[in-house]
């Protein structure tokens, strides 16, 4: 039990960091440069992790790193950067909260994980909370930003489950570093071709990229993939609901976005959804069900004996 909660807490580092990424990107990083923004986020993170775990890919990890780099890094980071520039902090982060269901479906189809009732219920409760969080003001929603968020969520969910399926004992930090470097190198020619020279960076932008790259990318993704290596995909996906919680709280406390009664209820539902998907809750529910079964089994012979007395 203690070990499970330790991995849950490690995993939680990722969505909390990602929830803050939207605010930092929107407030401090240059607008209209999603490809350069993604490249400047991925490459330093990959180099940091490679310095910690200096190891080159072997065998199938050459092409696996390329596939995961495209899904989890190059396309994903560019879409997230675009969404962060087009959407309010709370809205951009909460769209990603639908990922638990998508991750569970991909885990069922690709990794052979069973669809379990409590995580699915937790995902439903969490998504209900997301609906309340999104229902505050949709009049000024940029639907290009929504489309970018949805695409980022689907592609990254697929990439996360593939990383889980391909787990073979290779060091998580090394695998994560290879993804960042592959995705970042793929982004460089695309950024030069589409956006031209790198955007000028002032001191706040440099500090913003340092935060996003080291904390919200290198550390966060290493924590996330560690969680995927030790926990079911449904549990990890539900922990990801802390992403919108962080985004909404930052938007309220720092960016001055309004937190209404519906959003408060939504946050409570999101937290309830996270708890429902935890293995501890599933074990407690299973023990209760088993105990109930024993009561029935113990009472049944008595009833039979009573009816057999002449």
Using an 8 Å Cβ cutoff, are 234 and 228 in contact? Answer: no
Nearest to 46 by CA among 85, 77, 22, 81: 77
Tens of pLDDT, residues 144-165 = 888 898 899 899 999 999 999 9
Total domains in the chain come to 1
Q: Is the pLDDT of residue 179 over 80?
A: yes
68 is a domain residue: yes
CA distance readout (Å), 291 to 117, 286, 296, 300: 19, 8, 9, 14
283 is a domain residue: no
306 is a domain residue: no
Parent domain of 6: 2-277
Cα separation, 185 vs 200, in Å, equals 20
Least confidently predicted of 43-57, 84-98, 286-300? 286-300
Tens of pLDDT, residues 128-138 = 887 786 665 55
131 is a domain residue: yes
Return the ∠ at Cα 230 (arms to 64 and 248), rounded to 5°. 90
The reported pTM is 0.79
Cα separation, 109 vs 288, in Å, equals 30
Q: Is the pLDDT of residue 187 over 80?
A: yes
Number of other residues whose CB lies within 10 A of the CB of residue 205: 17
291 is a domain residue: no
Q: Is the pLDDT of residue 191 over 90?
A: yes
Tens of pLDDT, residues 289-308 = 555 555 444 444 433 333 22
258 is a domain residue: yes
290 is a domain residue: no
Q: Is the pLDDT of residue 49 over 90?
A: yes
Q: What percent of the chain has pLDDT over 90?
A: 39
**Confidence at residue 163, expressed as pLDDT on a 0 to 100 scale:** 93
Task: Give the chain's mean pLDDT.
Answer: 82
230 is a domain residue: yes
pLDDT confidence bin for 51, thresholds 50/70/90: very high
């Amino acid at each position: 039990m203690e070990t499970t909660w330790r991995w849950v807490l490690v995993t939680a580092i990722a969505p909390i960091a990602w929830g803050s990424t939207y605010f930092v990107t929107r407030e401090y990083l240059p607008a209209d440069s999603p490809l350069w923004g993604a490249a400047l986020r991925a490459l330093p993170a990959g180099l940091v992790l490679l310095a910690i775990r200096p190891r080159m890919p072997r065998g199938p990890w050459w092409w696996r790193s390329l596939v995961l780099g495209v899904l989890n890094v190059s396309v994903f980071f560019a879409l997230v950067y675009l969404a962060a520039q087009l959407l309010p902090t709370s809205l951009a982060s909460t769209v990603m909260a639908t990922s638990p269901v998508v991750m569970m479906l991909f885990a069922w189809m690709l990794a052979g994980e069973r669809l379990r009732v409590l995580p699915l219920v937790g995902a439903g409760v969490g998504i209900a909370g997301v609906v309340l969080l999104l229902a505050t003001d949709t009049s000024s929603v940029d639907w290009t930003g929504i489309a970018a968020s949805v695409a980022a969520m689907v592609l990254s969910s697929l990439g996360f489950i593939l990383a889980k399926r391909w787990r073979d004992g290779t060091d998580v930090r090394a695998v994560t570093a290879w993804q960042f470097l592959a995705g970042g190198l793929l982004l460089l020619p695309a950024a030069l071709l589409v956006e031209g020279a790198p955007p000028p960076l002032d001191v706040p932008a440099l500090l913003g990229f340092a935060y996003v790259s080291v904390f919200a990318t290198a550390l966060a993704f290493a924590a996330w993939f560690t969680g995927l290596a030790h926990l079911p995909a449904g549990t990890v996906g539900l922990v990801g609901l802390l992403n919108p919680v962080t985004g909404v709280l930052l938007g309220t406390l720092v960016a001055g976005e309004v937190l209404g009664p519906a959003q408060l209820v939504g946050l409570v539902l999101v937290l309830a959804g996270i708890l429902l998907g935890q293995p501890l809750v599933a074990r407690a529910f299973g023990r209760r069900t088993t105990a109930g079964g024993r009561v029935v089994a113990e009472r049944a012979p008595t009833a039979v004996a009573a009816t057999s007395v002449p």
